[in-house]
A and B are shown apart, each in its own frame.
Chain A
Amino acid sequence: GAVVSQHPSRVICKSGTSVKIECRSLDFQATTMFWYRQFPKQSLMLMATSNEGSKATYEQGVEKDKFLINHASLTLSTLTVTSAHPEDSSFYICSASPGLATDTQYFGPGTRLTVL
């Protein structure tokens, strides 16, 4: 089956620093990747949609200058949380899709970010 990896699985950083999270599709080409944020005991909230080679589309209320998304290849997307603050602490999940709207999204295991 399709596998999506995320790295790191867990990261702790100081307030004001930047953190990069990688999302890789290991055995298929992902035309589209999605980034979600999940708060404890809550649902997944879509942050942005990224297509390979183009700028990400951010959901309303998500600061694009704070959450930088790069989708440089068909197997890699990165999310950089810039100048992180404690309120950015959350569980970040990526998913990857071969491309069609009706295609299944394959989810990574998530990254737990803690900002001190």
Chain B
Amino acid sequence: AQSVTQPDIHITVSEGASLELRCNYSYGATPYLFWYVQSPGQGLQLLLKYFSGDTLVQGIKGFEAEFKRSQSSFNLRKPSVHWSDAAEYFCAVGEDSSNTGKLIFGQGTTLQVKP
């Protein structure tokens, strides 16, 4: 069965510093991978997704993620964090076996940004 692990429950970075949020997945075939951000009072917003092709994916708000098959990872990065990036971040894998579009989410990482 597919699973997603986000090892870091809570991360604090200073504004302007670089950021990397970790995501590891378990899936037999090539996974469909997503990063979503959840801000209070708002729905989850898609930051980026990987289906195939170039393993470095560019997303919105200056985020990028790199798919590394050998490490079963899909880490999210941003070179310079802004205070508005403080939110909950979820990595998810799409369950393609049944072609239903179902997503399995990681536990989430809370990002706090220090001024």
**A binding-site residues for B, Cβ under 8 Å:** 4, 32, 34, 41-46, 49, 57, 93, 95, 97, 99-110
Contacts and interface: CB of A to CB of B under 8 A. Distances in A.
B72 interface: no
Contacts, number: 60
Interface in B80-115: 90, 94, 96, 99-108
B108 A102 contact: no
A43 B108 contact: yes
A105 B103 contact: yes
B106 A43 contact: yes
A15 B100 CA distance: 34
Interface of B: 32, 36, 41-46, 49, 51, 90, 94, 96, 99-108
A43 B99 CA distance: 22
A103 B106 contact: no
Contacts of B108: 41-43
A97 B36 CA distance: 15
B51 to A, nearest CB: 6
A44 B90 contact: yes
20 contacts: A4-B43, A42-B108, A43-B90, A44-B90, A46-B103, A93-B43, A95-B44, A97-B101, A99-B101, A101-B32, A101-B101, A102-B51, A102-B94, A102-B96, A104-B46, A105-B101, A106-B46, A107-B43, A107-B44, A108-B43
B107 A42 contact: yes
A34 B36 CA distance: 16
A101 B94 contact: yes
A46 B102 contact: yes
A43 B49 contact: no
B52 to A, nearest CB: 10
Nearest to B10: A41
A58 B31 CA distance: 23
Contact of B96 (A46, A95, A99, A101): A101
A99 B100 CA distance: 9
B101 A102 contact: yes
Nearest to B36: A107
